[in-house]
Amino acid sequence: MASVDMAERSQLAGWLRGSISSFRRKAPLSVAFGIFWLAAMVAIALFADYLRPYDITAMDLTSRLSAPGALRHLLGTDELGRDVLSRLIQSVRVSLIIAFGATVLSAVFGTALGFAAARFRGIVEHLVLALADFQAALPFLIMSLAVLAFFGSSMVLLVCLMGFYGWERYARIARGLAISAGAQGYAAAVVQLGATPARVYLRHILPNVASTLIVSMTLTFPEIILMESGLSFLGLGVQPPETSLGNMVGFGREYLTRAPWIMLAPAAVIMLTTLSISLVGDWLRDKLDPTVR
């Protein structure tokens, strides 16, 4: 009985070892770390409400600016005695929500315009390309500064604004791919069968070009996180009492000399997250799309 158990266990261990090493053959250690970190961030964002030890606005006035390491406040507290760990967890959630929302918006918007340019050509195509030129001429940070300061910052506006980030990249890629796909047999075949243009583009061309678009999403996502944290750092992104990673760094800056942990904790999270996405994104790109380098 025991020997069977042992055999089973060693089989299991062997299988585990085999699958881990085959994963390591396929994905280097850095990519494994990236996937692990991103999974942890997504989990934290999903379960933020249960993970937070304190409310993000709960003040503990007896222990203001206390250093990290204490059991009550693992990552220390800020100038109002608010728990840095709790705020960090909430910040991860807010920053990820904005970045996810904006990445999806920008991918949909850009791809739609790119397909429209490929479908109608002529004036529509010129218009889309002119819009892309315009986007390239005006640094995104400057444009968002103007829009946010004049409309006032709100969560919805912030997501919509960030949703314009990088759309021109999708538009250019989608346009190019759709034009070349249109020349291929399969697209012509479904057109001959009488499919509507919407059906041709969404059901047939889109799945064929999706991998390239997904790879561009892994490029845009960390840039949106950096852009949002930059805006929040400047005080024009996420507004208090809500908190985001950049917003925490911005406020922590005032206490740089006395309490550097307020700023260092979110800064580390920003860096590790963008790093992980680039590592995983590069790996995905090699896997999914050998044509793009």
Partner 1 sequence: MIRFVLVRLLRAVITILAVVTFAFVVLRMSGDPAQVMLGPDVPQDAVDAFRRAWGLDQPLWIQYLAYLKSIFTGDFGVSMRDKASALQLVLERVPATLQLTLPALILKLMIGIPAGVYAALHRQSFADRGVITLAIIGFTVPSFVMGLVLVLIFSVILGVLPSGGQDTWVHGVLPTITMSIGGIGILARFSRSAMIEVLGQPYIRTASAKGLKWRDVIWSHALPNAAVPIVTIVGFMVGSLIAGAVVVESIFSWPGIGRLLIVSVSNRDLAVVQCILLIIAAAMVMSNLVVDLLYGWLDPRLRSHAAH
Smallest distance from partner 1 to CB 134, Å: 4
* Residue from 146, 188, 202, 292 in contact with partner 1 (CB under 8 A): 146
Decide: 34 and 277 in contact? Cβ < 8 Å.
yes
**By CB under 8 A, residue 174 contacts partner 1:** no
Q: Which region among 92-100, 114-122, 126-134, 185-193 touches partner 1 (by CB under 8 A)?
A: 126-134
Q: Does 96 bind partner 1 (CB under 8 A)?
A: no
> Which CB, 151 or 186, lies closer to partner 1?
151
For partner 1, the binding residue among 149, 202, 210, 292 (CB under 8 A) is 149
* Identified binder of partner 1 from the candidate list 103, 246, 259, 285, rule CB under 8 A: 246
Q: Which is nearer to partner 1, 139 or 197 (CB)?
A: 139
Question: Tell me, what amino acid is at 85?
Answer: L
133 binds partner 1 (CB under 8 A): yes
271 binds partner 1 (CB under 8 A): yes
DSSP string, the chain: -HHHHHHHHHHHHHHHHHHHHHHHHHS-HHHHHHHHHHHHHHHHHHTHHHH-SS-TT---GGGTTPPTT-SSSTT-B-TT--BHHHHHHHHHHHHHHHHHHHHHHHHHHHHHHHHHHHHH-HHHHHHHHHHHHHHHHS-HHHHHHHHHHHH---HHHHHHHHTTTTHHHHHHHHHHHHHHHHTSHHHHHHHHTT--HHHIIIIIIHHHHHHHHHHHHHHHHHHHHHHHHHHHHTTSSSPTTS--HHHHHHHHGGGTTT-THHHHHHHHHHHHHHHHHHHHHHHHHHHH-TT--
> What is the C-alpha to C-alpha distance for residues 140 and 165, in angstroms, rounded to an integer?
7
Q: Does 25 bind partner 1 (CB under 8 A)?
A: no
Q: Is 259 in the site for partner 1 (CB under 8 A)?
A: no
Question: Of residues 179-238, which lie at the interface with partner 1 (CB under 8 A)?
Answer: 222, 226, 229-230, 233-234, 236
Tell me whether residue 148 or residue 200 sits nearer to partner 1 (CB atom).
148
292 touches partner 1 by CB under 8 A: no
Residue whose CB is less far from partner 1, 110 or 250: 250
Tell me the β-bridge partners of 83: 77
134 makes contact with partner 1 (CB under 8 A): yes
278 binds partner 1 (CB under 8 A): yes
Task: Tell me which residues touch partner 1 (CB under 8 A).
Answer: 130-131, 133-134, 136-139, 141-143, 145-147, 149-151, 222, 226, 229-230, 233-234, 236, 246, 249-250, 253, 256-257, 260, 263, 267, 270-271, 274-275, 278, 293
